[in-house]
Amino acid sequence: MNENVMPDSTVVDSVVAKVLNPEMVANGNYQDVLSFLWEKGLDLLLSLGTRIVLAIVVFFIGRWIINRLKSIFAKMLERRSVEISLASFLKSLVNVVLTFFLIVSIIGILGIETSSFVALFASAGVAIGMALSGTLQNFAGGVMILLFKPFKVGDFVEAQGVVGVVKEIQIFNTIFNTLDNKVVIVPNGGLSTGIVTNYSKEENRRVDWVFSIAYGDDYQKAKSIIEGMLAADARVLKDPAPFVALSKLNSSSVDLTVRAWVLAADYWDVFFSMNEKVYETFRSQGLNIPFPQMDVHLHQK
């Protein structure tokens, strides 16, 4: 119902015509005027009273529906383990939006014109959105990160040119601690739309090495030594099994590709310790680790 609370123009004109009718006044028919006003007044009061009662009923039903929707939304956030601060903000936002639509509906039932009110609100929303476009993008990115969890606090992540551990996820920014203990603050807008490499998402990680021996060295001996070191390291997983193969005959070396699976937490320890073991063992076993070199031949004329 979107009628006007004020009396209809035809009713007003009729009332005015009755009251200002010269013949009725001249004849002293004031009783007819009062009777007419009483009749029209009762119609207006009855119409207005019906709308008020309907608006009250809609208000209480609307509040009940809003409370139910808020309860369902809160349970959904709880199931997704959304951060407490974000969950509180989202619940308040949902309550405000639903209450606004309820108020607009009640205003319409009372007969007040709502088109100009909604247009004003929409214009204000557009202006605020344009002024805060970057901030709103970061806010939306923060919501997406907290809802879908591409990474969490404590994960080792590479994103937006930053490599480090996630220290804190805020509404507008995410705070990283780099490997050299620098604090880097990255806006959430770019994190939610860009490429993110999460090194902590999976339980296991593959460690890759390329070890080189000189031309003329025993390849099978080098392969056997590497396989033995991997088998002796308890941190190296047996399944999938480690992989060792001759990958490239380079310009100055014979390259062996080595791959092994470890727990994500052991990745760097295994990587560095294997480098150290290979360097020491190759040297003691007579295997040469080559370096780039160039032969220069001089010819005397």
110-147 per-position pLDDT tens digit: 777 666 666 666 766 666 566 556 677 888 888 888 78
Q: Is residue 132 in some structural domain?
A: no
Give yes or no: residues 120 and 57 share one domain.
yes
Give yes or no: residues 185 and 258 share one domain.
no
Domain count, the chain: 3
pLDDT at 79: 84
| 7 has a pLDDT exceeding 50 | no
Nearest-10 Cα torsion for 152, 155, 158, 164: 120
Q: Is residue 67 in some structural domain?
A: yes
Q: Is residue 138 in some structural domain?
A: no
pLDDT in tens, 283-296: 899 999 887 777 77
User: Which residue, of 198, 220, 237, is where some domain finishes?
Assistant: 198
Q: Is residue 118 in some structural domain?
A: yes
Mean of the per-residue pLDDT values of the chain: 81
pLDDT interval class at 2 (50, 70, 90):
very low
Give yes or no: residues 209 and 163 share one domain.
no
pLDDT at 196: 93
Give yes or no: residues 218 and 194 share one domain.
no
Which domain does 47 fall in, by range?
9-126
Tell me the two tokens of residue 5: 């609370």
pLDDT at 99: 87
Q: How confident is the model over 6-24, as a mean pLDDT?
A: 50
CA distance 138 to 102: 29
pLDDT in tens, 161-196: 999 999 988 878 899 999 999 999 999 988 988 899
pLDDT in tens, 63-83: 899 899 888 988 888 888 776
CA distance 264 to 176: 19
Q: Is residue 48 in some structural domain?
A: yes
Secondary structure of the chain as H, E, C letters: CCCCCCCCHHHHHHHHHHHCCHHHHHCCCHHHHHHHHHHHHHHHHHHHHHHHHHHHHHHHHHHHHHHHHHHHHHHHHHHCCCCHHHHHHHHHHHHHHHHHHHHHHHHHHCCCCCHHHHHHHHHHHHHHHHHCHHHHHHHHHHHHHHHHCCCCCCCEEEECCEEEEEEEECCCEEEEEECCCCEEEEEHHHHHHCCEEECCCCCEEEEEEEEEECCCCCHHHHHHHHHHHHHHCCCECCCCCCEEEEEEECCCCEEEEEEEEEEHHHHHHHHHHHHHHHHHHHHHCCCCCCCCCCCCCCCCC
Backbone angles phi, psi at 8, to 5 degrees: -60, 145
Q: How confident is the model over 26-34, as a mean pLDDT?
A: 56
Tell me the two tokens of residue 208: 């890759």
Lowest mean pLDDT among 73-82, 200-209, 252-261, 263-272: 73-82
Q: Which CATH number belongs to the domain containing residue 43 in this structure? A: 1.10.287
Give yes or no: residues 224 and 189 share one domain.
no
